[in-house]
Amino acid sequence: MSSSQIMDKDTVRRAVMRIAHEILEKNKGTKDLCIIGIRTRGVFLAERINECIKQIEGSLLPTGILDITLYRDDLTMISAQPIVHETKIDFEITDKKIILVDDVLFTGRTIRAALDALVDFGRPAGIQLAVLIDRGHRELPIRADFVGKNIPTSLNQNVKVILSESDQKEDQVIVLEGKHV
């Protein structure tokens, strides 16, 4: 199976820093902002964006972890139940501006599930979406507010984000040929 590298360690770092800047620019600072990562890699990206925001503004945003398994729209169609991990949002989200973070935006179904999950925790003033990669092929009317890199792909390709925290390898983004990895 062939694969090609789209981003390396440095381009990932710069993209994360730029997203942090864009978030602060769009929201005119950190007032009422909080950041929630979608398991697994969205959590690490959220932490990295938060670190960048701290470098720029001097303070960290409240951070949360969201597991969307129970909100998936295909739960009754798959043969064995996926493992459920803990959701951890220790702050009140009502009237807050939430930055939702994931690694790859594809069909949009994960984000749909995440939006449903978030409104069970309260009524935020707004939700903005930040992703490292947008690979297209949306099946739902969802778009990202902050994108690290747009990668045009075919449906026969798979985009893999590798992060040092989750994969014990140097950061990179690769495109693999073939649907199933």
Partner 1 sequence: MIWTKHDLIDTKDLSKEEIELILETAKSFKEVSTRDVKKVPALRGKTIVTLFCEPSTRTRASFELAAKRLSADTLSLSPSTSSLSKGESVLDMARNIEALNVDAIIVRHQTAGTPDLLAKHLNSSVINAGDGCRGHPTQALLDMFTIKERLGKVEGLKVGIVGDILHSRVARSNIYALTKLGAKVTVCGPATLMPIGIESLGVNVTYQLSDVIKESDVIMLLRLQLERQKDKFLPSIKEYAIKFGINRAKLKGAKKEVVIMHPGPVNRGVELSADVADGEYSVILDQVTNGVAVRMAVLYLLLGTKEK
Q: Which residues bind partner 1 (CB under 8 A)?
A: 67, 69-71, 75-76, 78-81, 83-88, 116-117, 120-122
Please classify residue 103 by burial: count the beta carbons closer than 10 Å to its beta carbon, then call 0-12 exposed, 13-18 middle and 19+ buried: buried
CB of 34 to partner 1, least distance (A): 16
Residue 103 CA to residue 40 CA, distance in Å, equals 9
Q: Which is nearer to partner 1, 112 or 135 (CB)?
A: 112
Cis peptide before 11 (omega within 30 of 0): no
42 φ, ψ (degrees, to nearest 5): -60, -30
Q: Which is nearer to partner 1, 13 or 85 (CB)?
A: 85
Q: Which is nearer to partner 1, 10 or 120 (CB)?
A: 120
Q: Which is nearer to partner 1, 68 or 163 (CB)?
A: 68
Rounded to 5°, angle at Cα 90 from 87 and 92: 115
Structure tokens at 181: 């990895």
CB of 89 to partner 1, least distance (A): 9
CB of 120 to partner 1, least distance (A): 4
CB of 114 to partner 1, least distance (A): 13
